[in-house]
Amino acid sequence: MTTVSKIDAVVLGAGIVGVCAALHLQARGRSVLLVDRRGPGEETSFGNAGLIERASIVPYAFPRTVREVLRYASNRASAVRYDPLFLPRITPWLFAYWRHSSPSRLAEAASAMLPLIERCLDEHDVLIAAAGAEDVVRRDGWIEAFRTPAAFDRAVAATSAAAALGLRFEILDSRSLHEREPGLTGALRGAVHWLDPVAVRDPHALTMRYFDLFISRGGSFQTGDAQTLDRQAAGWSVTTSAGTTEARDAVVALGAWSGRLAQRFGHRVPLAVKRGYHMHYAATPGAELTRPILDDEGGYVLAPMTRGIRLTTGVEMAAADAPASPLPLSRCEPLARQILPLGARLDATPWMGLRPALPDMRPVIGASGRQPGLWFSFGHAHHGLTLAAVSGRLLAELVTGEEPVVDSNPYAIARFG
């Protein structure tokens, strides 16, 4: 006989976004089951640059100048690589992304994202304190560095918008930069040190601290296939290793895998995947790193992690299930060694993850609108870690009928028809 249990809400996806949604629903008195095919935080939440990016006030846009487009079209850039065989399939999405990256639409996207960005750190801080995770974070910002004076000058000019929003930063010339990070070589000409963001020493460990908090407060986790989600008369059911669970509400927080499930319940969402890689390196004595460094022109990040110095690559446009490519890392690693003498590789193979991205550069957070009790929180692109806590709060407020912390309309799935 099949075992059937009942619960208030099931959250599909135990990455950082799903775990935060579960915690916030739980805090509002809901019994919650987390479901994932793997362990908590073992997909995209496992590998990123580890930044709670409070200073990211403008979304990552598609290049608009002919020079930039031609640079990336050559498919030799370190920041972006595409699979030529995949290009015909992704071209409509890229065109939509390009359209939304016009100056007026980019400003609209930035305005839509700002309320979440402004609250991202405050909401994480509540969970960090509750989870006892202060030892996993470092509160001295990150550094955006530049190889050429022209790029540095453009960045400095652009800081006026950040200053107007009250963000804290310091402009570093080459000498000041190397005083702050003595391990860096002379390849960099200047930098902006963003002081508000928080760096995470181990993103997977932070997810696990949040997950442990959820479990300690009475939450449940089971392995299972989200595609078993099914409509029931009084809500939803999902099949897991422990049997069938019925819930009044179901939350889809599956990251890059959310689009397929949303489509099954009547939503066609233009969700694409930006693949990314990371590798850890030993620190060379005398060339340690204390803060994350973005090589702006190189298109990668070096971040000090518990395991070693993590190099995270830029974007690869390829099918989600295509074999990993050696090219993104092989292009970025020589550039990284120019600015920091890295030691030996510490991982047997590069890690690869999938960033879920929507062309209008904002996530989907809120109700289905077509299926009662079905909710979504996905499509955070490069900012899943950054926005997880505030997205969880907003989602839980919508589910429970509270006054939402921010206007949720810009993130409604209805914008896609």
Give the pLDDT confidence score for residue 77 in this predicted structure. 93
d(CA 134, CA 173): 31
Q: What is the pLDDT of residues 50-79, one digit of tens each?
A: 999 999 999 999 998 888 888 899 999 999
d(CA 201, CA 290): 10
Q: What is the pLDDT of residues 200-216, one digit of tens each?
A: 999 999 999 999 999 99
Amino acid identity, position 359: P
pLDDT tens for the chain, 417 residues: list them.
456 789 999 999 999 999 999 999 999 999 999 999 999 999 999 999 999 999 999 999 999 888 888 889 999 999 999 999 999 999 999 999 999 999 999 999 999 999 999 999 999 999 999 999 999 999 999 999 999 999 999 999 999 999 999 999 999 999 999 999 999 998 899 999 999 999 999 999 999 999 999 999 999 999 999 999 999 988 999 999 999 999 999 999 999 999 999 999 999 999 999 999 999 999 999 899 999 999 999 999 999 999 999 999 999 999 999 999 999 999 999 999 999 999 999 999 999 999 999 999 999 999 999 999 999 999 999 999 999 999 999 999 999 999 999 999 999 999 998
Q: CB within 8 A of 88, min separation 6: which ones?
A: none
d(CA 292, CA 304): 6
Break the chain into its structural domains and give their ranges.
4-46+204-270+361-416
Coil/strand/helix, residue 352: strand
Q: How far is CA 270 from the centre of its chain?
A: 17
Q: How far is CA 199 from the centre of its chain?
A: 13
Contact 394, 305 (CB under 8 A): no
Coil/strand/helix, residue 250: strand
Q: What is the CATH number of domain 4-46+204-270+361-416?
A: 3.50.50.60
pTM of the model as a whole: 0.96
CA dihedral 18, 24, 27, 29 (to 10 degrees): -80
Angle at 355 between CA 135 and CA 371, to 5 degrees: 105
d(CA 17, CA 23): 10
DSSP 8-state code for residue 410: G
**In terms of Cα–Cα distance, which of 345, 305, 340 is closest to 326?**
345
How far CA 305 is from CA of 160, 196, 202, 332, in Å, comes to 31, 19, 6, 18
Sheet strands (E) in 209-289: 220-223, 230-232, 235-240, 243-252, 272-283
Give the pLDDT confidence score for residue 288 in this predicted structure. 92
